[in-house]
Chain A
Amino acid sequence: MIFLILLVFGQWLTLGVISSGDYPFFFRESLGERFSLPLAWNNGYNVPFSTQWPHEFLTGLLSKIGMDFAVVERLAWFWPFLVISILSSRYLAKTLFPENEFVLSFAPFIYLLNTYVLTIIVGGQVGIILSYAFAPLVIATLIKYIDNEKNYYAILSGLAFAIQIVFDPRISFITAGIISLYSLTVFKYNLKKYVKLFLVPLVVTIGLHFYWILPTLLVRKSPLPIGYGSTNWVDFLSFASFSNTISLLHPNWPESIFGKTYFMRPEFLIIPIIAFSSLFFIFSAEKNGSLGKNSRNNILFFAFIALIGSFLAKGSKPPFGEIYLWLFNNLPGMNMFRDPTKFYVLISLSYSILIPFSVQQTYSWLKSKIKKSLPASRQETSKSPPFASLQRGKQSKIQRYSPNIFLLLITGYLLLLIKPAWTGQLSGTFKVKEVPKEYIELKDFIHNQPQFFRTFWTPQHQRFGFYESNHPTINASDYLKTNDPAELVQELRKEGRKEELQRLGVKYLIIPFDSDGEMFLTDRKYDHQKRLKTEEELTSIEWLEKKNLLEKIAIFELKNPKDHFWFEGNPSQVNYKMVDPTRYLVTGETTRPNNLLVFSETYDPRWALKINSKEITSEKSYESLNSFIIPAVGKWNGEVEFTPQKYVNYGLIVSGITLLLSMTALIVFSRK
């Protein structure tokens, strides 16, 4: 197992930079900014209140103490994923089958090395993989709590669940679903038992996450982006067929290219055959009493979960895809799952129990067959023809080794299925890369300019492009609502666009060096001509001045961008200091009443300017910016703040108290 992990994840043990797909890159300067209290506003966006702050805080801290991104990402993401997945899945297997060493050892192999999780890793969805890693631990601790009712497990499960939510709440939702179903099989209609089971873990979880739960409730802001909950997304993202899901075969395996799927590979159908063969042993164990009732029930439960997972993971595809769409629209929480492949977690979890169990039972059965057949053949040898004993000797050798041959075949088969993983064919976050020196030079160029400005990336921000609070970025494709480079340039040429960008504080328009071939694409392949054309078009715009700074990154300067705060119309003075992205200390001198102070962040009515304890609410100006009408004349001092931040701060106090109490209780109960 260790050798296999080294083969598959070897690059994670080197010190090259890993960044691909959804997984971004951070320079130390921007990563260090994460070392702050949770913020309700960041980088120009009114962010959905994020569950990920504790982890961001940790990565920020590691960066602040001098660690490079390559080290931080291994310590904070990749190595924890490996360790936790193995230990967590082993812990679940041990909880369900405490004396079955084979299942304990084999379960992590299935859980960590299946096409679903490997494809997710390729795609750089690191939040999902870490949440995935914690799932077995959460389930196991709650099962232990059900079995022995020790408070230690109640608190531990609350902590584990809270950590899981940090990385991806959707996987936590699925985990909660599994536990709810499991408790249904144990408690049935006993309501008191449910309350007892869930009360402590829920209180711990909610308490720890109160820093975002409180503002979400009070501000009544949907935690999901606009349009996220549309069934059109479900139809669009339902790539897996039922044969894929029941075979634990991710539809994008192995290249993980969005939208690219393959014909069903029939060899993967052996996986469900092995998994569901475990039911044979349950049925026969009922007759001969070779397995305890708990073990039989656990196998039945996970077989059922595997079928549910297979059904849900195909989304709106047949059969009965309408059921998924109905659930998406009607079941609370299901609108988080516009991408149904998240439900592969159910299949992966279940098969990590069923397959080792099935293999182990088959192995034991084969061994028992040998023991039964050998004594009988020894009795016959005296009456049989001359060479018969030799044949029987050969036969008994094959029989004797058949359990091991079976194990070898199964292991070989499972390894063959994931061959691209251990032959180094997987790309994405399985490969390290070098940060192009052009981006390091660009970072220095931007970071060394102390004044505030924005950079406008055409068509979009490249993963190695530098940004920080003082120099945020704008994606041209998001802002101008088109991905096509030619259309982007057309949009830029429109009347008034120059003044619009100046008001946003844009100082540089940047055409990135597409080092990873992710942007200027024709038929999914990098098209250099497209990039050259874009650069040519932008050069012909008269209000942009091309800077000949970097060979592969085109930088165009826009003269006279506005600052972060500025007065409309007249040259009144304003100075400001950013305390954090939700709070600014502003001093100004106005020469007439009702001057309009513009604050170039995306308009939100919850921004407010306080002068002498009088609060001035933000009004929308220039269609998308904040502004404050200053009634006073002369010098004044004020504070601009994003008002929901106070709810985050109150919630954080509760989260801190919960953490302290939970850790104390855990230590106390562990000694009992």
Chain B
Amino acid sequence: MKIQDILFILFFISLIVKGNKTTTLLIGLGCLILAMPLFYFQVFFTAERLTWYATGFILLSILKQIHNT
């Protein structure tokens, strides 16, 4: 496990506890936006991981919405 993954897990857990669905979604989309220049500059490892994190955040926002309804 890399340092990025540990940071992601910590952040993810904090969002589960405290974050709202819109913020979580924004962060997910932000990860995708951030991944773009990294792919462009061929920083593939981190860029690829950002897409994984983005999915995690988007999924969390969906689950939060389902939970609310």
Q: How far is the CA of A280 from the CA of B20 in the complex (A)?
A: 12
Q: Report how far A304 CA is from B35 CA in the complex, Å.
A: 21
Q: How close is A131's CB to chain B, nearest CB, in angstroms?
A: 27
Residues of chain B lying within 8 A (CB to CB) of residue A300: 62, 65-66
Q: Which residues of A from 270 to 302 have beta carbons under 8 Å from B?
A: 270, 272-273, 276-277, 279-280, 282-283, 286, 300
Number of B residues whose C-beta is below 8 Å from A?
29
Which of chain A's residues have a CB closer than 8 A to the CB of B40? 266
- Complex contact A307–B59 (CB within 8 A): yes
A269 and B25 form a contact (CB under 8 A): no
Known: A263-B42, A264-B39. A269 touches B62 (CB 8 A): no
Verify A303–B66 contact, CB threshold 8 A.
no
A266 near B37 with CB under 8 A, answer yes
Query: Is A402 part of the contact surface with B, judged by Cβ < 8 Å?
Result: no
- Chain B residues with Cβ below 8 Å from A307 are 55, 58-59, 62
Task: Please name the residue on chain B nearest to A284 by beta carbon.
Answer: B22
A59 and B52 CA atoms in complex are apart in Å by 45
Decide if B33 touches A273 in the complex (CB within 8 Å). yes
- Complex: A304 Cα to B64 Cα, angstroms: 12
Q: How does the 8 Å CB contact mask read for B27-69 relative to A, with 1 for contact and 0 for none?
A: 0110011011111101010011001101100110110011011
- B-contacting 9-mer, from A241-249, A496-504, A597-605, A654-662: A241-249
- Chain B residue with Cβ nearest A303: B62
How far, in whole Å, are A312 and B42 apart by their CA atoms in the complex? 25
For B51, the chain A residues whose CB sits under 8 A away are: 242-243, 246, 269
Are B62's CB and A243's CB within 8 A? no
* Cβ A273 vs Cβ B65 within 8 A: no
| Measured CA separation A273–B55 after assembly (Å) | 11
B35 contacts which chain A residues (CB < 8 A)? 243, 266, 269
The docked-state distance in angstroms from the alpha carbon of A273 to that of B26 is 10
CB distance from B59 to the nearest CB of A (A): 6
* Residue in A243, A264, A276, A304 whose CB lies within 8 Å of B29: A276
State the main secondary structure of chain A at its contact with B: helix
Q: Hey, which chain B residues are within 8 Å of A286, CB to CB?
A: 65, 68-69
Give every chain A residue within 8 A of B48 (Cβ-Cβ): 241-243, 264
Closest to B59 in A: A307
Chain B residues, CB < 8 A from A241: 48
CA gap between A266 and B62 in the complex, in Å: 25
A458 at the interface (CB under 8 A from B): no
Query: B37 contacts which chain A residues (CB < 8 A)?
Result: 266
A295 to chain B, nearest CB (A): 13
Q: Given A280-B22, A307-B58, are A242 and B36 also a contact pair (CB < 8 Å)? A: no
Residue of B nearest to A279 (CB): B25
Question: How far apart are B25's CB and chain A's nearest CB, in angstroms?
Answer: 5
Q: Which residues of B contact A304 (CB under 8 A)?
A: 59, 62
1/0 per residue, CB under 8 A from B, across A307-319: the answer is 1001100000001
Contact indicator B25/A276 (Cβ below 8 Å): yes
Of A246, A282, A283, the residue contacting B55 (CB under 8 A) is A246
Instruction: Give the most central of B33, B44, B65, B69: most A CB within 10 Å.
Output: B65
Q: Are A282 and B65 in contact (CB under 8 A)?
A: yes
Taking CB atoms, residues of chain B closer than 8 Å to A276 are 25, 28-29, 58
Which partner residue on chain B sits nearest A320 by CB separation?
Answer: B52
Contacts of A263 in B (CB 8 A): 39, 42, 44
In the complex, A349 Cα to B44 Cα: how many Å? 28
* A-side contacts of B47, CB under 8 Å: 243, 264, 266
Contact bitstring A631-669, B, C-beta under 8 A = 1, else 0 = 000000000000000000000000000000000000000
Since A266-B35, A282-B65 are in contact, a sample of 10 more A-B pairs with Cβ atoms closer than 8 Å, ordered by chain A residue number, is A242-B48, A264-B39, A266-B38, A266-B39, A273-B29, A276-B25, A283-B25, A286-B65, A300-B62, A303-B62
B residues within 8 Å of A by Cβ?
21-22, 25, 28-29, 32-33, 35-40, 42, 44, 47-48, 51-52, 54-55, 58-59, 61-62, 65-66, 68-69
A-B contact list, 5 entries, CB within 8 Å: A241-B48, A242-B55, A265-B39, A266-B37, A283-B22
**Which 3 A-B residue pairs are closest in the complex by CB-CB distance?**
A266-B39, A266-B36, A243-B51
